Structure 1
Amino acid sequence: MPSVILETERLRLRAFTEHDADDVLRAATDPLTQRWLPIPAPGRPYTRADAVAWCVETAPAARASGDGQHWAAVCRRTGRYVGSFGVSRANWVARTIEIGYLMSPDARGRGLAPEAVVAITRWVLLDQEFERIALKAATDNVASRRVAEKAGYVYEGIERNAIRLHRGRADLAVYSVIRPDLTG
């Protein structure tokens, strides 16, 4: 995938750098993040080494391999890190991909996540010519499901027992956007 910076009214989505590691660590180790995202792996605590690896190895490798792209979201006004957004699991033949994100605790509830998701969605469907983006969230993760709805994603149903979280297995609510949703 091409390296690209996306901008919204309040956000700049740019490539991760090693300087983002401490911010990524704070966001990734937040109890609410850990409740819903099994990072780095179910039952394993997230460390600074994981954050550094994410910023300098894992995120850039996803783009280079064609699997997806990941952005550090920063406030345009202050430059402060507010979250991580990305697309992954690219199926280039079917032109489908998944979107995911996590927000820093102090950036939640301000409408920043839907703002970033809309920008990424438009870039993926219109500029990269994908046909479908899926967004999946644990069924009890009300905030993440609200992001999907605010960003215009359509609820499709439940994938039962689909993810292993730190505290056990969970069902996933599945949402999607397809290109005609943007033009129709």
Structure 2
Amino acid sequence: MPSVILETERLVLRAFTENDVDDVLRAASDPLTQRWLPIPAPGRPYTRSDAVTWCVDTAPATRATGDGQHWAAVCRRTGRYVGSFGVVRTNWAARTTEIGYLMAPDARGRGLAPEAVVAVTHWVLLDQGFERIALKAATDNTASRRVAEKAGYVYEGIERNAMPLHRGRTDLAVYSVIRPDLVG
């Protein structure tokens, strides 16, 4: 995928750098993030080393290999890190991908996540010509499900027992947007 910076009214979505390590560590190791996202792996705490690997190796490699793209979202006004957004599991032949995100604890509840999801969605479907983006959230993760709905994603159903967590497994609520949803 091409490297691109996306801008919204309140955010700039840009590539991760080594300067993001401390912010990524804080957001990814937050208890609420850890409740819903089994990062770096189920049952393993998120460490500074994981944040370095993410910012310096993993996020850039995802774009380089064509599997997707990841952005660090920062506030336009302050430059402060507010979250991570990305597309993964990209199927180029089918022109489909999946969007994921996490928010820094102090940035939650301000409507920033839907704003960023809309920007990424438009870039993927309209600018890159993809046909479908899926968004999956644990069924009990009501905040993440609200992000999907506010960003215009359509609820499709439940993917049962679909994801390991740090403790146990969870069903996933599946949402999607297809290009006709935006251009129709």
Aligned position for 2:53? 53
1:136 Cα offset (Å): 0.1
Alignment of 1:90-129 (within 5 A): 90-129=90-129
SS of the residue 1:79 aligns to: coil
Unpaired segments ≥5 residues, structure 1: none
Runs of 4+ in 1 over 3 A off after TM superposition: none
- CA shift, 1:100, in A, is 0.2
The DSSP-based 3-state class of the residue aligned with 2:172 is strand
The Cα of 1:38 is off from its aligned counterpart by 0.3
CA shift for structure 1 position 183: 1.2
Q: Write the mapping of 1:1-184 to structure 2, written as runs, cut at 5 A.
A: 1-184=1-184
In structure 2, distance between residues paired with 1:170 and 1:93: 29
Offset at 1:131? 0.2
Percent identity of paired positions between Structure 1 and Structure 2? 88
Distance 1:156 1:103 in 2: 24
In 1, Cα distance between the equivalents of 2:107 and 2:45?
A: 22
Output the CA distance in 2 between the equivalents of 1:19 and 1:52: 9
Aligned-residue Cα RMSD (Å) equals 0.3
Instruction: Provide TM-score, normalisation by structure 1.
Output: 1.00
Q: Which structure 2 segments of 5+ residues have no match?
A: none
1:48-71 residue CA offsets vs partner (Å, 9 max, x unmatched): 000000000000000000000000
Query: SS at the partner of 1:136?
Result: strand
CA deviations 1:107-161 (Å, max 9, x no partner) are 0000000000000000000111000000000000000000000000000000000
Q: CA deviation at 1:167?
A: 1.1
Residues of 2 paired with 1:13 and 1:52: CA distance? Answer: 19
